[in-house]
Amino acid sequence: MQKNAQLIEDACQIWHAWFDDSEEHDYSEKEPSDIEYFIGCMLYNQFAFEKAISTMKTMDIGLDFLDATGNSYAEVKALLTQIDAKDDLEKLALLQDHITKSIKRYEGDRMALYLINRLAGHINTLEAIYRGKVDRRDVDFEKLANKTEIYKGL
């Protein structure tokens, strides 16, 4: 899993350099943590989790963000497609590790953590589904959204 974690970190570094490099790569409502969030979304979509809730089989990546990535998107995508995980639980662990690192990186910045916390809540719920702690038919995202400690459990 070490190689996989490095691929994810390299992808994040590419986009941090890309967006720090020039104002021409700007987009609406930009937060530095968007990079980690959208990398997480790309991984989630790539992993195509078998037990994902039917309405959450994929996660949208903001079009304005994608437009701003320009040529760097192909480079990041190429790194992420090299990730090799044997099963969905290993993929979940990769995503949880990525989220944990992101939360530590932006600790104390509530705005920066908003999207990352949303991703964490979904991934934690997905893990609970895989571990048989939650039936996916019983997931109530409105109730989850009202919890103050979505990160709890990572």
Sign of the torsion formed by the C-alpha atoms of 83, 89, 92 and 94: negative
pLDDT at position 17 is: 93
pLDDT band of residue 31 (cuts 50, 70, 90) is confident
pLDDT band of residue 68 (cuts 50, 70, 90) is very high
143 pLDDT higher than 70: no
Q: Tell me how far apart the alpha carbons of residues 20 and 39 are, in angstroms, rounded to a whole number.
A: 17
Check: CB of residue 149 under 8 Å from CB of residue 124: no
* C-alpha closest to that of 39 among 86, 90, 5: 5
141 pLDDT higher than 60: no
Mean of per-residue pLDDT scores for the chain: 86
pLDDT at position 55 is: 76
pLDDT band of residue 148 (cuts 50, 70, 90) is very low
pLDDT at position 151 is: 44
* C-alpha closest to that of 44 among 113, 94, 110: 94
With residues binned 3-state (H G I as helix, E B as strand, rest as coil), the percentages for the chain, rounded to 5, are 65, 0, 35
128 pLDDT higher than 60: yes
138 pLDDT higher than 90: no
* C-alpha closest to that of 126 among 154, 85, 147: 154
Q: Tell me how far apart the alpha carbons of residues 123 and 127 are, in angstroms, rounded to a whole number.
A: 6
Amino acid type, 84 = D
Q: Tell me how far apart the alpha carbons of residues 18 and 75 are, in angstroms, rounded to a whole number.
A: 11
Distances (CA, A) of 142 to 5, 68, 131, 145, 151: 31, 31, 22, 5, 16
pTM of the model: 0.82
